[in-house]
């Protein structure tokens, strides 16, 4: 509990409740205006602390410091931080030993064009389905050298890994699954349902229009080479900048691919074997620690590196993750001051739309509200936890008509509302510059964070608009998901074909 909890009488918030939106909006606005994320986030957290403390500067300083410390001390957050730095260390040792280069040279036999390289990245994202963090860090670090060789921008790599991280993990059996089912169960408990939350959860998968359409779009643009908006301009610049440069992979000195392959196998193997047995965050930490030390062990035993060289690479990898850790902690801190016990940003957004709801528009509104909340607080998990216990009873009251709660499993609008909350959380998280997965994607790809946000957002917004118009609106009016889903995917393809073009290098004389 912070020193200035707004759950009591907060005069500033009481007079101007719209100020609850200030921290996330300030963070986004200043980050874009200044093109500098860290100071924007710090100022946003300080502003939130000032609001929480009812404008008392001394209390605000206490709230600010307590917020930062509490976010770092949180067990799950600490696990994410350690997981991130251990994966950074693993990747650094793999790179220094020549293992990554050897692995990429093997991949190059199949990914010998820009399109095939992007396609391989997309397929890898589908394969590493078990966790969004592992997906982002592992694939980003492994594919970065190949993108440089193929004259592809790091912004494109960040976009592809970000778009196959949360969207895939949210749909597959992953470290997300137990949490998502638990939040669905909370909503079912609120309506007195004895139904199986797992059955409801899996029944909503065809209603997850945004992640399904996004995965389809990324696959299509990867294999077609088409882009639009800021990403196309960035790819054009990358091609022109490197058009007359020789881009080859450094000599791997006949290093073994196992220098990279074995640590990755340890990481993936531990997660796959134990993911249902221990806490997800503890599992990721254990897997990343094991993989990092495997990378050091195999590099030294094979004499690819001396112990001193491996140690330096290990520390260098940790240091490379520090900027991402700073952004993560600040982003978590914004979520902390905006949570239900303090500014209650999510509750305020819900209150703005709840009174004017029409049943037919509930799935669409659920998607928009979920996206807005996730964008504002930078956390899809928090968004799901806040909104599912609210929207499931609301959907039941609008679509139930006195029926048993189990009968609602045959109601497209009911399942569509749940799917909309789950999808909207991923959409908002996907766009948000303060989202941990967005931060990690830019860090893993070695891309400027703001550049990643700016180049990715048009794709996310377009897919969200298509999902809203072709998915959640029809479902709200009673259409089956098997009508809405093909329509959504087809419309996404049409939009990419109409807007997308291949970047081309202008010949110079």
Residue 328 pLDDT greater than 90, yes or no: no
What pLDDT band is residue 4 in, cutting at 50, 70 and 90? very low
- Answer yes or no: are the C-beta atoms of 409 and 200 closer than 8 Å: yes
What mean pLDDT is predicted for residues 389-398?
A: 78
What mean pLDDT is predicted for residues 48-72?
A: 90
pLDDT tens digits, 128-145: 766 787 778 778 877 888
> How high is the pLDDT of residue 505?
60
> How high is the pLDDT of residue 404?
53
Burial call 82-94: b when 16+ CB within 10 Å, e when fewer: bbbbbbbbbbbbb
Residue 90 pLDDT greater than 50, yes or no: yes
- Answer yes or no: are the C-beta atoms of 93 and 313 closer than 8 Å: yes
What pLDDT band is residue 289 in, cutting at 50, 70 and 90? very high
Residue 466 pLDDT greater than 60, yes or no: yes
Burial call 245-263: b when 16+ CB within 10 Å, e when fewer: eeeeeeebeebbbebbbbb
The partner residues of 501 in beta bridges, in order of sequence, read: 227
Structure tokens at 445: 């790809």
Q: Chain-wide mean pLDDT for the chain? A: 83
Give residue 322's Cα distance to chain centre: 19
pLDDT tens digits, 333-360: 887 888 778 888 777 877 776 666 778 8
Residue 88 pLDDT greater than 50, yes or no: yes
d(CA 337, CA 242): 45
| Choice between 195 and 458, residue whose per-residue pLDDT is larger | 458
pLDDT tens digits, 301-316: 998 889 999 999 999 9
What lies within 8 Å, CB to CB, of 391 at 6+ separation is 187, 362, 366, 417, 418, 420, 421
Structure tokens at 355: 């009174």
What mean pLDDT is predicted for residues 375-390?
A: 78
Residue 393 pLDDT greater than 90, yes or no: no
Residue 48 pLDDT greater than 60, yes or no: yes
d(CA 416, CA 23): 31
Residue 164 pLDDT greater than 80, yes or no: yes
pLDDT tens digits, 473-486: 999 998 999 999 99
End-to-end CA distance of the chain: 67
> How high is the pLDDT of residue 502?
84
The partner residues of 227 in beta bridges, in order of sequence, read: 501
What pLDDT band is residue 154 in, cutting at 50, 70 and 90? very high
What lies within 8 Å, CB to CB, of 407 at 6+ separation is none
> How high is the pLDDT of residue 467?
97
Under DSSP, the state recorded for 243 is T
Structure tokens at 394: 């609301």
> How high is the pLDDT of residue 487?
96
- Answer yes or no: are the C-beta atoms of 338 and 98 closer than 8 Å: no
> How high is the pLDDT of residue 347?
75
Residue 508 pLDDT greater than 60, yes or no: no
Residue 1 pLDDT greater than 50, yes or no: no
């Amino acid at each position: 509990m912070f020193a200035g909890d707004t759950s009591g009488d907060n005069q500033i918030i009481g007079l101007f409740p719209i100020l609850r939106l200030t921290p996330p909006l300030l963070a986004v606005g200043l980050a874009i205006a200044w093109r500098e994320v860290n100071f924007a986030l710090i100022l946003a957290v300080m502003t939130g602390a000032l609001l929480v403390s009812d404008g008392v500067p001394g209390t605000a300083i206490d709230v600010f410091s307590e917020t930062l410390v509490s976010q770092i001390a949180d067990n799950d957050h600490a696990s994410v931080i350690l997981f991130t730095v251990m994966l950074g260390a693993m990747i650094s040792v793999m790179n220094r030993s020549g293992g990554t280069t050897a692995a990429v040279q093997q991949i190059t036999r199949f990914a010998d064009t820009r399109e095939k390289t992007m396609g391989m990245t997309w397929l890898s994202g589908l394969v590493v389905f078990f966790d969004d963090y592992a997906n982002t860090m592992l694939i980003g670090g492994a594919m970065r050298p190949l993108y440089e060789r193929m004259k592809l921008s790091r912004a494109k790599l960040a976009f592809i890994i970000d778009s196959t991280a949360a969207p895939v993990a949210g749909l597959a059996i992953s470290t997300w699954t137990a949490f998502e089912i638990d939040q669905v169960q909370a909503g079912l408990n609120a309506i007195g349902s004895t139904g199986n939350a797992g059955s409801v959860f899996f029944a909503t998968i065809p209603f997850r229009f945004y992640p399904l359409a996004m995965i389809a779009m990324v696959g299509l643009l990867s294999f077609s080479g088409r882009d639009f908006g800021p990403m196309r301009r960035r790819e054009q610049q990358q091609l022109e900048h490197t058009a007359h440069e020789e881009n080859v992979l450094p000599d791997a000195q006949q290093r073994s691919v196992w220098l990279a392959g074995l640590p990755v196998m340890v990481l993936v193997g531990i997660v796959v074997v134990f993911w249902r047995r221990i806490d997800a965050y503890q599992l990721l930490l254990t897997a990343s620690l094991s993989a990092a030390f495997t990378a050091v062990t195999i590099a030294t035993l094979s004499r690819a590196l001396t112990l001193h060289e491996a140690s330096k690479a290990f520390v260098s990898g940790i240091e490379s993750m520090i900027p991402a850790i700073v952004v993560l902690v600040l982003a978590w801190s914004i979520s902390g001051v905006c949570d239900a016990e303090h500014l209650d940003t999510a509750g305020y957004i819900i209150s703005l739309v709840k009174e004017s709801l029409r049943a037919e528009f509930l799935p669409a509104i659920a998607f928009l509200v979920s996206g807005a909340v996730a964008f504002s607080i930078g956390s899809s998990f928090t968004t799901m936890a806040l909104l599912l216990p609210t929207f499931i009873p609301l959907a039941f009251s609008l679509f139930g008509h006195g029926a048993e709660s189990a009968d609602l499993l045959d109601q497209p609008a009911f399942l569509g509302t749940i799917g909309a909350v789950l999808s909207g959380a991923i959409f908002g998280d996907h766009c948000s510059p303060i989202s941990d997965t967005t931060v990690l994607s830019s860090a893993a790809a070695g891309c400027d964070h703001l550049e990643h946000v700016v180049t990715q957002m048009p794709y996310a917004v377009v897919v969200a608009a298509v999902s809203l118009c072709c998915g959640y609106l029809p479902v709200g009016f009673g259409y089956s998901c098997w009508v809405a889903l093909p329509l959504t995917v087809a419309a996404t393809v049409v939009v990419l074909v109409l807007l997308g073009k291949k970047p081309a290098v202008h010949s110079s004389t």
